[in-house]
Amino acid sequence: MVYHLFQVNFSGETRMPKAKYENIYKEIKQKILSHEYESGDYLPSENDLTEKYNCSRNTIRKATLFLIEEGLVQPHHGKGVRVIYHESQRYNLTRSGISGFSQSAEKSGYRVTTQVINFTELVADGRLSQRTYFPEGTTLYFIQRVRYLNGTAKSLDTTLLRKDLIPGLTPEIAAGSLFDYIENVVGMEIRTIKRSITISHISELDKKYLKIEDYDCTPVITSRNYNLNGEMFEYTESRNNPDSFQFNSVAWR
């Protein structure tokens, strides 16, 4: 069983979009998902859409850009914009991104639980600094959590957070959604996430918490998160259960 995570992105929020292009993007996306625009078809021309949505061509093009980034359509110079959506994409849709574990999972209807197995503070030494890129001497929260989906251990996450930027953390908060706390309580917006996937041998901790039996290694997602000011405030190493691991991405030109 592969849980489709790691694919809901920033734009997957439920807030009311204020920008015109965002609404147009969502409406066209909906029509693609509901097969009103069938795979292989061309979207109405930009001029048609301009009339239909009573906006400028630039606005249509910005909406279309999102669809391209999501791998839903593909523009063809001189011909039109073709739908290349495949039903198998439905739960893997992403526009360049990944976001909170809880959000994406709950959106998919999964039951999420979190077990906090470590919660301390520490100061970054040279070794840790080299690994995380936090400056030496930075005071950090050190949090280790096991994330469950419908009762099955999905990942073992080690998170380091700058205490000066994300104050007031408690194990209780960490047991819920860190993403939610950062965005809605602290009021800090996550703007950029740089991620890297590598393979690592499993440790005793992995074995213990992820209940990995069939594999001797695990995919590790290392991510560095930046806030509005361009400050790196979070570093996370997510060690995943190989059975349910899936990561999607779309490239285009």
Partner DNA sequence: TTGTTCAACTTGTTTGAACAAGTTTATTTA
Partner DNA sequence: TAAATAAACTTGTTCAAACAAGTTGAACAA
- Structural tokens at position 150: 């419908």
Pick what 21 binds: a second copy, DNA, none; C-beta below 5 to 8 Å, kind-dependent: DNA
Q: CA–CA separation, 61 vs 24, rounded Å?
A: 10
3 state DSSP class of 16: coil
* 20, 107, 163, 195: residue in contact with DNA (rule CB under 7 A): 20
Site size for DNA (CB under 7 A): 27
Site size for a second copy (CB under 8 A): 54
Apex CA 241: angle with CA 172 and CA 96, to 5°?
85
- Yes or no: say if 156 and 144 are a contact pair by the CB < 8 Å rule: yes
Binding mask 73-112 for a second copy (x = CB under 8 A): -x-x-----xxx-x-xx--x---xxxx-------------
191 binds a second copy (CB under 8 A): yes
| Selected range binding DNA among 3-11, 20-28, 91-99, 136-144, rule: CB under 7 A | 20-28
3 state DSSP class of 20: helix
Least Cβ distance, residue 227 to DNA (angstroms): 11
Least Cβ distance, residue 141 to DNA (angstroms): 24
Pick what 195 binds: DNA, a second copy, none; C-beta below 5 to 8 Å, kind-dependent: a second copy
In the 8-state DSSP scheme, what is residue 180? H
Q: CA–CA separation, 136 vs 138, rounded Å?
A: 6
